[in-house]
Structure 1
């Protein structure tokens, strides 16, 4: 049976139908709760149950730990109510007013940036534009009814073409196509914008961006948006990859470094090769942040990459560096042969 959910502190109310999660019902009613993956992997939709009964649904144990359940936490992308409920969640007002569209699009350019990374530029019909916030993503709607999600790498002000960075996952339903049979001028279908990974512009706190691999894509769009807005907030980018060749667009942050006095760039290699002759930082990217910042209480952190990187960053920053939990914003990428995606969708 349908149940009513009340969101605090806003007081907004909506009805959740039998076949819906709390997040699905909220989005249907036009209330934008935070979310990233919508499959229980990233933890971006985590909120608190103040009253009522809940079915937690299937989710990653890392995204919602048992101790968090005892504290009343739940992942609203997976949870379904078993009674009327009151929940606590911070609504995203900026995204609420953006219309989600389903549109045809054309592949304008395919540019191989690394052995396993393709930069894809897509063009919408002449009379269409996709309004979005820097950092959001789109879904490609495939012929079999499945979807594949990819973060937008361009900022909203530069929207003549939509830019995606697609990593090749061997056996991947869509990425195999991108690296083998997809051609310029091919027609695809997308839905977007989606997601709550974007800069919170109601703050003046300095921002630390952590990208893992192609997690650079949405962060690129966010930084280019911040530059266009002439922000004077401190902007620090950590980009973690395996070896030097995986810094597939390193010339761009190096250019920003030369042009932007409020921008810093720290590349980090986890497995540098002898041929790399690497003299820079090594190890896990979140550990580089820990080494550089003994106190994060006055910062915002935006992280995008593999779930383990996002989880480790969130846990260590909050527990050991005094980062307020609500100042950590993330999108977690999940890569698997049959479920590849560039956000955790």
Structure 2
């Protein structure tokens, strides 16, 4: 059975089958609901259920609490309809601009850039090209039906290869394979482009770019795209890691800072050891932003990395620094463990 979903305030409408999620139907229809992980962990797709009834699948409490659900909020990545729906959500323009494809790809190169990070370069078939926006991601389609998501680390115009930054999560099904068994010329399959985290090219506001760990990957693509566009918007990159070696492309960031008069790089390390001889900024990376920019009311923020960092940054930037909520653009990296920690009950929302 099919139901109609109406999005406010835009008035856009799309159909949703009773066995698919509202977000899945929106993506299929090219309607730009905001989203990130698609597995009930990050909360990016949360919106208001104005009319109708849905049932929520497994999700994390932090993504949608019982109190929020009682107030009429819904998590569209795991909400399935039982009636026609009217929902309230901020639409992201440009999401449906490029087609979502399922493609084979060949591993062209595996470069280890840190003890636990590789840059994986992928070669598409000769007659194929993946069009995407800087900041978006792809999902690898594994043989067991599972998926693994990774952001493109290169801007779309630098498309000789798709490059991904992959951190080794010990015991992780996919990353163990990447680090221990994957070889050049191996064939993989993926779907993309996905996600609503990408460069908003129409804005002229100064950009704060906030990354932790391999959250640098889509931030790198966004910076490359801004440079390619000839953008003169001020850009300040704050990249955080536990130790200096976690900032595995620091030399590239330093080169940008030397070459671009409107670009500033601020590395932040939280757990430096004596042998690191670290003399730079220390502590939580988002605290460094607050120290330097206590008033963010005129800025636009792009944040990517561990969910705890992204959540804390949004709370503090919006609550303490005056950042407009719709100018906080984020992609919280969630893992298989995050999905497994989701609430394993289904709950109706009326």
TM-score w.r.t. length of structure 1: 0.94
Task: Map 1:1-16; keep pairs closer than 5 Å.
Answer: 1-16=1-16
Task: Map 1:75-114; keep pairs closer than 5 Å.
Answer: 75-114=75-114
Aligned to 1:175: 175
SS in 1 for 2:105: strand
Query: Is residue 47–residue 88 contact of structure 2 (8 Å, CA) maintained in 1?
Result: yes
Aligned to 1:343: none
Query: Is residue 267–residue 280 contact of structure 2 (8 Å, CA) maintained in 1?
Result: yes
Aligned to 1:326: 326
Moved over 4 A (4+): 336-340
Aligned to 1:53: 53
Query: Is residue 112–residue 119 contact of structure 1 (8 Å, CA) maintained in 2?
Result: yes
Distance across 2 between alignment mates of 1:317 and 1:57 = 31
Shift of 1:287: 1.2
Task: Map 1:283-322; keep pairs closer than 5 Å.
Answer: 283-322=283-322
Distance across 2 between alignment mates of 1:320 and 1:87 = 29
Aligned to 1:264: 264
Shift of 1:129: 0.7
Query: Is residue 140–residue 189 contact of structure 1 (8 Å, CA) maintained in 2?
Result: yes
Q: Residue 337 and residue 76 in structure 1: after superposition, are their counterparts in 2 closer, same or farther (change >3 A)?
A: closer
Residues matched between the structures, number: 340
**RMSD of equivalent CA atoms:** 1.7
Shift of 1:315: 1.0
SS in 1 for 2:44: coil
Aligned to 2:344: none
Distance across 2 between alignment mates of 1:94 and 1:224 = 19
SS in 2 for 1:118: strand
SS in 1 for 2:245: helix
Query: Is residue 41–residue 339 contact of structure 2 (8 Å, CA) maintained in 1?
Result: no
Are positions 1:29 and 2:29 aligned together? yes
Q: Deviations over 1:267-318 (max 9, x none)?
A: 1111111111111111111111111121111111111111111111111111
Distance across 1 between alignment mates of 2:320 and 2:36 = 25
TM-score w.r.t. length of structure 2: 0.93
Query: Is residue 310–residue 330 contact of structure 1 (8 Å, CA) maintained in 2?
Result: yes
Shift of 1:243: 0.2
Query: Is residue 101–residue 193 contact of structure 1 (8 Å, CA) maintained in 2?
Result: yes
| Structure 1 unaligned blocks of 5 or more | 341-345
Q: Deviations over 1:9-57 (max 9, x none)?
A: 2211122211111101111222121111001222221222223333343
SS in 2 for 1:311: helix
Distance across 2 between alignment mates of 1:73 and 1:232 = 39
Aligned to 1:209: 209
Are positions 1:276 and 2:276 aligned together? yes
Distance across 2 between alignment mates of 1:20 and 1:45 = 15
SS in 1 for 2:248: coil
Aligned to 1:165: 165
